[in-house]
């Protein structure tokens, strides 16, 4: 069942800039949804509207059955939001930051919950430190802790790994995965596409304010992904024989490698190898590679007018 239902969402600014155009999207309970797109595509605007920091100019939003406009108090109780910016009071302690945030939601005091959050985020030893004494990565984790103090049903993470080193990023990924197993719905925007590829159940791609694709991660990788077979030849060849033209081979500049791109569903690699043998072109080694989500993302972003709009699969 969807926990978030967005229908025909629009955002127009006074300078005639349209940040969102008829965005329709359902996000299911307990899933991790990655929203991808280039800078200025509308990702932060979309999240801001759902979380109440940006006013929409059209459309409807339902969060767990509550209208986000007419029943905004109930919706705010269900949502946790981690912004891109480090919006923290530098002179508060880590503990007080979370303690006050829970109070702002009108939640009863729960020190055991705050302790669990800080321990899960590896911040327990820093609970008495002031925010200004923390590293950038630790401040990002404090922001996540703040967003969890009201025990949200759906958590929005807007570029949570920005400026975080590799080790802390890996720890953050593990923590987000743990939240998902606990039943929290997570909506993630990120520029680290390996992050989305590792964590997401479904992926949406937004482009120039329009939702271009929403698809299950594995289906997206299978549908648009391709494999590359590189054959390292025993001897250089000057040209590709006519009998091999149908395979769309590429001969490397040094004449020593043949490169073949094919979709995951194709099964004609065996035919290629047989034809090579018939032409007495022998190879000493081969290497295969599979398209990453980053490859597919760049492919879809570049094909602006050529892709069909697919939503809510």
Cβ proximity of 49 and 61 under 8 Å:
yes
Q: Report the alpha-carbon distance of residue 28 to residue 216 in Å, rounded.
A: 12
Q: What tens digit of pLDDT does each residue of 245-290 get?
A: 778 788 998 999 998 877 665 667 888 888 898 889 999 898 877 7
* Structure tokens belonging to residue 268: 């004609």
pLDDT of residue 293: 67
Distance in angstroms (rounded) separating the CA atoms of residues 27 and 30: 9
What pLDDT is recorded for position 313? 34
Question: Can you give the pLDDT at residue 309?
Answer: 43
- The ranges of the chain with pLDDT < 70 are 163, 221-225, 263-267, 291-296, 298-313
* pLDDT at residue number 289: 73
CA distance 192 to 162: 9
How far apart are alpha carbons 103 and 107 in whole angstroms?
Answer: 6
The pLDDT score that the predictor gives to residue 223 is 65
Query: How many angstroms separate the CA atoms of 50 and 69, rounded?
Result: 10
Contacts of 97 (CB under 8 A, 6+ apart): 88, 89, 131, 142, 145, 146
Report pLDDT for 308: 42
CB-based contacts of 295: which residues, under 8 Å, 6+ apart? 225
**DSSP at 203:** E
């Amino acid at each position: 069942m969807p926990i978030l239902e967005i229908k025909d969402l629009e955002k127009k600014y006074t300078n005639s800039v349209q940040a969102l155009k008829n965005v329709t999207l359902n996000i299911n309970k307990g899933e991790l949804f990655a929203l991808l797109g280039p800078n200025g595509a509308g990702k932060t605007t979309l999240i801001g509207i759902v979380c109440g920091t940006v006013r929409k100019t059209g459309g409807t939003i339902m969060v767990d059955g509550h209208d986000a406009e007419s029943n905004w108090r109930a919706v705010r109780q269900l949502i946790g939001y981690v912004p891109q910016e480090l919006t923290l009071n530098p002179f508060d302690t880590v503990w007080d930051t979370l303690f006050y945030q829970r109070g702002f939601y009108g939640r009863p005091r729960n020190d055991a919950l705050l302790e669990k959050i800080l321990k899960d985020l590896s911040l327990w030893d820093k609970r008495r430190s002031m925010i200004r004494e923390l590293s950038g990565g630790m401040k990002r984790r404090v922001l996540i802790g703040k967003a969890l103090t009201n025990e949200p049903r759906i958590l929005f993470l807007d570029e949570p790994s920005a400026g975080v080193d590799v080790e802390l990023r890996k720890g953050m990924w593990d923590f987000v995965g743990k939240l998902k197993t606990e039943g929290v719905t997570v909506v993630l925007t990120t520029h680290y596409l390996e992050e989305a590829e590792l964590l997401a159940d479904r992926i949406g791609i937004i482009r120039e304010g329009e939702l271009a694709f929403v698809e299950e991660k594995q289906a997206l990788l299978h549908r648009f992904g391709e494999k590359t077979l590189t054959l390292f030849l025993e001897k250089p060849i000057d040209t590709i024989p006519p009998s091999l033209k149908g395979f769309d081979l590429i001969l490397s500049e040094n004449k020593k490698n043949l490169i073949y791109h094919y979709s995951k569903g194709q099964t004609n690699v065996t035919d290629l190898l047989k034809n090579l043998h018939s032409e007495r072109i022998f190879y000493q080694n081969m290497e295969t590679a599979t398209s990453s989500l980053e490859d597919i993302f760049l492919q879809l972003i570049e094909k602006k007018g050529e892709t069909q709009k697919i939503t809510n699969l």
